[in-house]
Amino acid sequence: MAPPRVVADPTARKRVRSKIYGLRTFPEAAAAAGGFGGGAFRDNVREFVRECGDVEEGATAGMPTWCTLLVDERSGAVAPLYTVEECVRFSPRPLCDYCRCMKLWEAAGWGHHWVSKRRYHLIIPTDEEWDRPLSGDALLRNDHLLHGLIHGNGFGHLVTINGRTGGSKFLSGCDLMDLWDRICTALRVREVSVEDTSQKRSLALRLLLGVAYGAPWFARWGYRFAWGSFGVTEDHYRRAIHLLSSLPVDALVADLRPSPRAGHLRRVAAAYRRLSGEPLLAVRDLLRHLLDMKRRRLPPPLPPPPPRGPRKRRRVRDFEEVAAALESRWPVRRLRFAAEVIVGALAEGGGAGRRMTRQEVRDAARLTIGDTGLIDFVLKSLGDCAVGGRVVRRAPHPLTRPGEVERDVGAVYWGLVEGRREAAQAVLDCKHWAKRWGLGDEADDRLRFLVRWKPPGRKAWEAEAEAEAALSRRRPLIPPGEVVVVEAHAAVGELVAEAERAMRDTYCAFERFVAEGVDGVAGEEWEPVMNGGAESGAELWVRGEFGAEALACELRRQGGEVGAEAEAEAEAWAVACACGASDDDGERMVACDACDVWHHTRCAGIADGDPVPPVFFCARCGGGLAAEAAVAAAAAAAGVALRV
């Protein structure tokens, strides 16, 4: 299939794109040629769209949009990369839901960050939409091949990543992740978070790859543990991974209750030990072998060699004898009847030398036999057997071997989930990962600082820090500093002016900010910064006022305002779950109607698919109410009036 031609504006008769870039080298070559990437993200992204993007005539829902064409050097496919600039003040959802998820955690959540004026969406739509303009609801859709969101301060979120498993015919997930990582590096992004919910055939990859290789898929690009749900810490995660990966396969099989899955896992371990010639003692070894086999390309089939002598005949057994020797829950007559039905299906559908797949035979037999367990059991035992004067032969199909390996991977996966439920669940509860980019030691001679705002008067700052510390019950949540870049020969006054410009340009609450000075650099306004005792990469404090309007601004923090209302809300939002969680972690919760304390629905025994009951009491309050009811009933039976 030839790659589609990209037509950004189907209403235009002619549309000429200024440049097309190589997908596997973009934007490194463009950054070197265009000279962007040396400043802070807020400046780099403007240079990026100016240098590499073409303005779209039809804006996306009224937002400025640029298109960059990327050609895949291997397949020749041309994919559009859209950059959409969203103005937060006019957005229907000005506060970022991804930042607000953990708004009281400094180490993980970004709810304490200042609200940026702008956020940028980088989108590669699905293959079918490469020749259409970006739709008006593009920012809300989750079917894009790539969707990244980056705030004006350089903090962002990888919202969607879909490769070939998501329907793309040209781009794999690794191709898209490589591109995303290069873009973040070139634009000097500071940190990106991602929620790993990727699955393959209903199997969570974070468990499979974590047990096999010690880290999830995103760790290949430097993403590290950010936080876990249901009270799981990084130490819990590491211990669970070690326990599962080093677990002996035989011990896992022995601990499973007798079931078809346990038998399948036992056969999988024996078969792959035999095929590999290796012991494959630990679960990690078995999973690695299976995943490597799944990725391995099959060689083309070889022609059969010419016969050199009489061929050795394969031994044929009578199915009556085989059925009598099998240990099964079905009587021999039922096994014989199922075998006759299967042979009849083969004779009808496999005529003229045509072979039938296992699934085709299974579907044909189900028309007569409703017990699929019986059909599967007989199919497994029917190879090289004679039934009614006919011989049934089984042979592996080279095109369906990967599917068989995937079923065997699933056997190991479900064995872990059932045999080591707590450890497997701890790994599954770790979905949030993040990658940080430091300021770095650039090749140029410019100075880079992280500048934080410090209100005039130490008492005011201490009061705010104490209020935030009381809310979080951990430590003061101070917003991160803003990146400020100045020339090596810049004076202190120029540093102050650049810090003021950076704060004004980036954050909604600092639109009228007036900088008065910088703490951390000694010297007068005209003296060089390099003589002030601050080295490149240091953290500085900028003093100044941002006016009474900013104090009333609703767009101050991503997690909401800090003050009396926020304190009351935080007191009402008390989390004390049985799993150990003491804050909102993004999972579904329910509040106790007696004590107003929030608990995870899963920990309260409410399944994910079940609705929350209209009245809910936690274990502590429910136990107390039950005790009071018992005392009241006993007192009433004794004729004693209970005083409440």
Enumerate the domain spans of the chain.
20-190, 237-298+403-432, 332-394, 438-551, 573-634
Q: What is the pLDDT of residue 158?
A: 96
Query: Which comes out higher in pLDDT, residue 354 or 561?
Result: 354
Give the dihedral sign, CA 574/577/583/589. Answer: negative
The count of residues in the chain is 644
Is residue 422 a contact partner of residue 187, using CB atoms and an 8 Å limit?
no
Pairing status of strand 390-392 against strand 224-227:
unpaired
Encode pLDDT of 404-419 as tens digits: 788 899 999 999 999 9
Residues 6+ apart with CB under 8 A from 499: 451, 482, 484, 515, 518, 540, 542
Query: Which comes out higher in pLDDT, residue 570 or 487?
Result: 487
Q: What is the pLDDT of residue 564?
A: 41
pLDDT exceeds 70 at position 495: yes
When pLDDT is averaged across residues 99-109 and rounded to a whole number, the result is: 54
CATH code: domain 438-551 is 3.10.20
Q: What is the pLDDT of residue 482?
A: 93
621 pLDDT band, cuts 50/70/90, is confident
Phi, psi of 592 (to 5 degrees): -70, 130
Query: Which comes out higher in pLDDT, residue 8 or 266?
Result: 266
Alpha-carbon distance 462 to 468, whole Å?
A: 10
Phi, psi of 353 (to 5 degrees): 75, 5
Task: Identify which of 499-503, 584-588, 601-605 has the greatest average pLDDT.
Answer: 499-503
State whether CATH 3.30.40.10 applies to domain 573-634: yes
- Say how many C-beta atoms besides its own lie within 10 A of residue 312's C-beta: 6
Encode pLDDT of 535-561 as tens digits: 888 889 898 887 656 655 677 787 765
Alpha-carbon distance 257 to 247, whole Å?
A: 17
Encode pLDDT of 205-221 as tens digits: 999 999 999 999 999 99
Q: Taking all residues of the chain, what is their mean pLDDT, rounded to a whole number?
A: 81
Q: What is the pLDDT of residue 382?
A: 83
Q: What is the pLDDT of residue 521?
A: 87
- C-alpha distances out from residue 17 to 56, 457, 611, 631, Å: 11, 54, 52, 81
pLDDT exceeds 80 at position 400: no
The dihedral formed by the CA atoms of 595, 597, 601 and 603, expressed in degrees to the nearest 10: -100
Beta bridge partners, 539, equal: 450
Is residue 426 a contact partner of residue 272, using CB atoms and an 8 Å limit?
no
When pLDDT is averaged across residues 148-159 and rounded to a whole number, the result is: 95
Q: What letter does residue 355 receive in the DSSP assignment?
A: -
Q: What letter does residue 106 receive in the DSSP assignment?
A: S
34 pLDDT band, cuts 50/70/90, is low
* Residue 376 half-sphere exposure toward CB, CA atoms < 13 A: 5
Among the residues of 171-233, which ranges form H helices? Answer: 173-186, 205-213
Tokens of 11: 């209403």
pLDDT exceeds 60 at position 625: no
When pLDDT is averaged across residues 172-192 and rounded to a whole number, the result is: 95
Encode pLDDT of 557-591 as tens digits: 877 654 444 444 544 568 888 888 877 777 889 99
